């Protein structure tokens, strides 16, 4: 223990002044003749001197510095694998016996002052919860569990980790891949001998399909010890069997792929079930079912290209868009083919308007409605007419003059994302021919690509987008777009960046702005059972400022039509609500609130998926546990050896650690000082009263 030290907020020269003030005060009070003896007078003088000096001393804010010691006993963390795979391979009696053994192990260590911390895969528990926790966690991340323990016990007296597990992991890294600075003792659960089983290892499918289109669902069926057996696989929706296929297992162990082709006329999220019909002798049937959720989209985006004449730019644009399944592209060249009347999401005018007023009726029609437009200028464009009718930019044309420029990507553009390495490829594209002019952007216009003359960047736009009056438009001022795609392929043997630039531009133009004043939506469209299901609420006034304090009614309906009602009020600090107790499946939601006396409503869908990871592999991996213990200088035990493990830990456990903390305390905050001052004042008052004066 270091010596006690006293500090003050002021100069130490104030300390003798405190004693001087106390001396003067006591001297003035007791220097005159008193009715008591000299001895009593001296005692009272000393008492008043100490009392006043102490009070003055407290006024200068003295601090006491001292060192406080405390002892930290060693801690053993009991890391329990509470995943479903443990439950699948052990019956209830075995699991209850395991819980009793774990409780006895904790009690055994506590007798020797070894603290035990209990850590499941998903949370920390107390000892009294040992008999009640369930082996129901749907995934196993042993390395994540160890890393969390390492983080929680950094710079603490961690003696060891005892991991009780079957060694099966299906998330994160292998636990023996990392290095640890503490010993890990492992206790093996489960059976290391594979059991006779048929299971669905995985299912491959596209999450999005289109109404009426066929889509594949591929199931990988794993067989162990069912050689030369017929296995029936069903594709179901609810209780209805849509398709049935039968395969013949030709090997003792292996994987067989089964493909279903299906189409749906119903739009929205659809829930399908892949199920293998159980065979006699299967170890478990929990892994015979897999769930598939596919979003059926009502229609594709319709894109119309209206061109003055055939041109390689048109082929380049079509090739870039045809790589995406969600676009239907029509090309109309007056005089060569017929125009197909349809509702189009984006119309591309290539070198139109021109000097011959080609397709003027279509141009006027789409300018008046809310269809998004993309203008591509060229040598045949009537730039004067284009200058007057477009909502994107104005340009002062120098008639007959054209420039060759290369693109320079605008790094500040945020409407859609192009990665830095992709921007570099765009900046290396060859020149295109552009009109020589001065340009002025109109309101709500953003530059995607600037013009570069040689290697010199300019502020002249090459590709511009605009969003005004709920209508999106864009303009590309160059002729020779096709060379960009060809050049990229000649260098990289692909056209990924060009295709992404074109498809992102069209996707931006075809997307509709959400102008609703009331929006309630899940923070993601797909959740797992282990996730928190959270809804976000946004409410706006007439000028689109956020509004708070609104009561919102939210109704969640499952696939069986059962509805659950929630109510909450959004606030500036919390505009979210968490839904609990939902099972796996597809849910529809509807939310309502009242704004300015009018009921506003939002609707949508989301899914909650059950992770089937734990049922795929139930064969214990004790070799992994032994490897983990070996590399961390721990040991491997079986479940009937908890007493031996406890004995080893007590004999070889880390010693207690003494920690010393330096602390500062204001003297005036010490409780005993109050009683000292009270005792001095009371003593002086009592003596003066007792001797007949005050």
Residue range 235-244: mean pLDDT, rounded: 92
Angle subtended at Cα 604 by Cα 603 and Cα 608, rounded to the nearest 5 degrees:
140
DSSP state of 277: P
Domains and CATH numbers, the chain: 5-69+664-690 (no CATH), 74-193+619-652 (3.40.50.410), 197-297 (2.60.40.10), 301-510 (3.40.50.880), 518-609 (2.60.40.1940)
Average pLDDT for 467-489 = 91
What does the alpha-carbon distance between residue 403 and residue 437 come to, in Å, rounded to a whole number?
A: 9
Token couple for 30: 């007791």
Averaged pLDDT for residues 448-457: 89
C-beta atoms surrounding 524 within 10 Å: 11
The C-alpha atoms of residue 60 and residue 68 are separated, in whole angstroms, by: 25
Say yes or no to pLDDT of 1 above 50.
no
| 641 DSSP assignment | G
What is the per-residue DSSP string for 137-198?
A: BS---HHHHHHHHHHHTTTS-EEEEEEEE-S---SSS-GGGS--SS-EEEEE-S-SS---EE
pLDDT tier, 659 (very low <50, low <70, confident <90, very high otherwise): low
Contacts of 180 (CB under 8 A, 6+ apart): 146, 150, 161, 632
> What is the average per-residue pLDDT within 145-160?
88
In this predicted structure, what is the pLDDT of residue 347?
A: 95
Helices (H), 449-564: 482-492, 496-510
List the beta strands (DSSP E) in 333-421.
Answer: 346-350, 372-376, 393-409
691 — pLDDT class (breaks 50, 70, 90): confident
Mapping DSSP to helix (H, G, I), strand (E, B) and coil, where does residue 515 land? coil
Helix axis angle for 496-510 and 312-322, nearest 10°, is 80
What pLDDT, in 10s, does the model give residues 254-295? 889 999 999 888 888 899 999 999 999 888 888 888 899 998
| Contact (CB, 8 A) for 407 and 470 | no
Q: What's the token pair of residue 80?
A: 């329990």
Q: What integer is the mean pLDDT of 432-447?
A: 91
Alpha carbon 191 to chain centroid distance?
A: 36
Position 351 pLDDT exceeds 90: yes
Integer Cα distance of 572 and 283 in angstroms? 54
At residue 41 the predicted structure's pLDDT band, cuts being 50, 70 and 90, is confident
The reported pTM is 0.61
Q: What percent of the chain stands above pLDDT 90? A: 42
Sequence-separated (6 or more) residues with CB below 8 Å from residue 653: 74, 76, 112, 114, 159, 160
pLDDT of res. 23: 87
Residue 278 neighbours by CB distance under 10 Å: 13
How far apart, in whole angstroms, are the C-alpha atoms of residue 330 and residue 313?
Answer: 15
Compute the radius of gyration of the chain from its Cα atoms. 40
- Of the two residues 163 and 414, the one the predictor is more confident about is 163
Q: Are strands 230-237 and 268-276 parallel, antiparallel or unpaired?
A: antiparallel
DSSP for residue 286: G
Model pLDDT for residues 561-606, shown as the tens digit of each residue: 999 999 999 998 888 999 988 988 999 999 999 988 889 999 989 9
CA distance 622 to 190: 9
Q: What is the pLDDT of residue 660?
A: 67
Q: Is 190 in contact with 620 (CB distance < 8 Å)?
A: yes
Does residue 114 carry a pLDDT above 80? Answer: yes
Quote the mean pLDDT of the chain: 88
CB atoms within 10 A of CB 311: 21
pLDDT tens-place string over residues 172-216: 889 988 888 889 999 999 888 888 889 888 899 888 888 878 889
pLDDT in tens, 531-557: 889 999 999 888 778 889 999 999 999
Residue of higher predicted confidence among 9 and 473: 473
Task: Say how far apart CA 113 and CA 97 lie, in whole Å.
Answer: 25
Residue 274: the pLDDT is 94
pLDDT in tens, 294-330: 988 776 789 999 999 999 999 999 999 987 777 889 9
In what helix (H) or strand (E) does residue 629 lie, and over which residues does it extend?
helix 622-631
How many CB atoms neighbour CB 681 within 10 A? 14
CA dist 257 and 309 (Å) reads 49
pLDDT single digits (tens) 380-413: 988 889 988 999 999 887 766 888 999 999 989 9
Q: Which of 245-254, 346-355, 619-628 has the lowest mean pLDDT?
A: 245-254
In degrees and rounded to multiples of 5, residue 493 shows phi and psi of 60, 20
What local confidence, expressed as pLDDT, does residue 267 receive?
84
Q: How far apart are CA 306 and CA 317, in angstroms?
A: 12
> Taking the CB of residue 388, how many other CB atoms lie within 10 A of it?
10
pLDDT band at residue 166 using 50, 70 and 90 as cut-offs? very high
pLDDT for 408 equals 93
Between 663 and 156, residue with greater pLDDT: 156
């Amino acid at each position: 223990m270091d010596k006690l030290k006293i500090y003050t907020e002021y100069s130490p020269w104030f300390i003798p002044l405190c004693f001087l003030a106390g001396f003067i005060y006591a001297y003035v009070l007791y220097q005159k003749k008193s009715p008591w003896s000299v001895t009593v007078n001296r005692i009272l003088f000393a008492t008043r001197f100490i009392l006043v000096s102490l009070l003055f001393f407290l006024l200068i804010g003295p601090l006491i510095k001292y060192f406080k010691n405390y002892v930290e006993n060693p801690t053993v963390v009991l890391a329990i694998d509470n995943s479903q795979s443990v439950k699948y391979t052990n019956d209830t009696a075995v699991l209850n016996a395991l819980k009793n053994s774990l409780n006895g192990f904790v009690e055994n260590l506590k007798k020797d002052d070894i603290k035990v911390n209990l850590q499941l895969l998903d949370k920390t528990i107390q000892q009294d919860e040992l008999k009640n926790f369930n082996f129901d966690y749907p995934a196993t991340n042993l390395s994540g569990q160890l890393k969390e323990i390492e983080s929680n016990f950094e710079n603490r007296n961690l003696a060891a980790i005892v991991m009780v597990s079957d060694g099966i992991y299906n998330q994160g890294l292998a636990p023996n891949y990392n290095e640890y600075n503490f010993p890990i003792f492992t206790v093996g659960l489960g059976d290391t001998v594979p059991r006779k089983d048929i299971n669905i290892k995985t299912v491959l499918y596209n999450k999005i399909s289109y109404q009426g289109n066929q889509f594949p669902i591929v199931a990988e069926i794993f067989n162990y010890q069912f050689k030369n057996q017929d296995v029936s696989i069903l594709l179901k929706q609810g209780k209805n069997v849509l398709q049935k296929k039968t395969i013949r297992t030709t090997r003792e162990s292996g994987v067989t792929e089964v493909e279903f082709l299906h189409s749906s006329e119903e739009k929205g999220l659809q829930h399908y079930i892949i199920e293998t019909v159980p065979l006699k002798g299967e170890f478990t049937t929990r892994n015979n079912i897999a769930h598939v959720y596919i979003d059926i989209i009502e229609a594709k985006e319709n894109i119309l290209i209206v061109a003055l004449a055939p041109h390689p730019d048109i082929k380049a644009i079509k090739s870039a868009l045809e790589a995406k399944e969600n676009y239907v592209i029509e090309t109309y060249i007056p005089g060569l083919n017929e125009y197909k009347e349809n509702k189009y999401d984006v119309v591309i005018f290539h070198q139109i308007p021109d000097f011959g007023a080609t397709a003027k009726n279509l141009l006027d029609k789409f300018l008046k409605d809310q269809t998004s437009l993309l203008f591509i200028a060229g040598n045949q464009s009537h730039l004067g007419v284009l200058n007057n009718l477009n909502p994107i930019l104005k340009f002062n044309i120098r008639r007959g003059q054209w420039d060759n420029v290369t693109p320079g990507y605008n790094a500040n553009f945020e409407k859609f994302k192009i990665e830095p390495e992709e921007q570099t490829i765009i900046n290396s594209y060859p020149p295109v021919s552009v009109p020589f002019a001065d340009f002025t952007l109109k309101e709500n216009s953003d530059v995607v690509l600037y013009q570069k003359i040689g290697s010199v960047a300019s502020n002249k736009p090459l590709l511009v987008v605009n969003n005004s009056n709920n209508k999106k438009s864009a303009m590309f001022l160059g002729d020779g777009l096709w060379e960009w795609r060809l050049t990229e392929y000649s260098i990289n043997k692909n056209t990924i960046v060009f295709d992404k630039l074109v498809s992102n531009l069209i996707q931006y133009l075809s997307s509709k702005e959400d102008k609703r004043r009331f929006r309630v939506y899940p923070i993601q469209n797909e959740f797992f059972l282990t996730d928190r299901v959270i809804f976000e609420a946004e409410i706006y006034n007439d000028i689109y400022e956020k509004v708070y304090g609104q009561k919102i009614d939210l109704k969640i309906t499952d696939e069986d039509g059962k509805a659950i009602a929630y109510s909450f009020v959004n606030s500036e600090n919390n505009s979210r609500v968490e839904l609990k107790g939902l099972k796996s499946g597809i849910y529809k939601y509807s939310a309502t609130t009242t704004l300015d006396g009018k009921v506003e409503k939002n609707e949508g869908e989301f899914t909650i998926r059950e992770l089937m990871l734990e049922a795929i592999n139930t064969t214990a991996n004790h070799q992994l546990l032994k490897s983990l213990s070996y590399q961390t200088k721990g040991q491997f035990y079986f479940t009937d050896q908890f007493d031996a493990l406890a004995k080893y830990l007590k004999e070889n456990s880390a010693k207690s650690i003494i920690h010393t903390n330096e602390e500062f305390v204001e003297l005036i905050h010490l409780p005993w000082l109050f009683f000292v001052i009270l005792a001095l004042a009371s003593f002086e008052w009592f003596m003066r009263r007792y001797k007949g004066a005050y």
